[in-house]
């Protein structure tokens, strides 16, 4: 006995494609939900970082009132979004000032 394979009809092809589309749409919906959740988490983290940064800027400006500029560690100044750091051509000397000089 010979087994005869039937060629897919247009209807069968359309049904297969429809099934793929249905599965794909469900996967996309899940991915969009994940992306929405990640965007929300990112937004909250950015807001938290902004608050932390503002406090850090206030604290470092307050610290600068009590110590010489050269005594403020560079590693701390680099986290201040309001500090302008200038390094000389040899990279041996640095200085900085504040964007809002009126506040210091």
Spans in the chain with pLDDT lower than 70 = 91-96, 99-104
> CA-CA-CA-CA torsion for 8, 12, 14, 20, nearest 10 degrees?
-100
Cα separation of the two ends of the chain: 96
Residues 6+ apart with CB under 8 A from 56: 79, 80
pLDDT attached to residue 104: 46
Output the pTM of the full model. 0.64
pLDDT attached to residue 8: 74
What does the DSSP assignment read for 8-20?
PPHHHHHHHHHHH
pLDDT attached to residue 74: 82
Distance from chain centroid for Cα 10? 47
């Amino acid at each position: 006995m010979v087994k005869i394979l039937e060629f897919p009809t247009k209807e069968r092809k359309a049904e297969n494609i429809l099934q793929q589309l249905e599965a794909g749409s469900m996967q996309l919906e899940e991915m969009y939900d994940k992306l929405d959740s990640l965007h929300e988490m990112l937004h909250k983290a950015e807001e938290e970082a902004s608050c932390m940064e503002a406090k850090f800027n206030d604290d470092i400006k307050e610290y600068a009132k009590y110590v010489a500029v050269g005594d403020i560690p560079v590693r701390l100044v680099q986290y201040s979004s309001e500090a302008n750091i200038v390094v000389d051509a040899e990279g041996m000397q640095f200085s900085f000032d504040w964007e809002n000089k009126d506040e210091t």
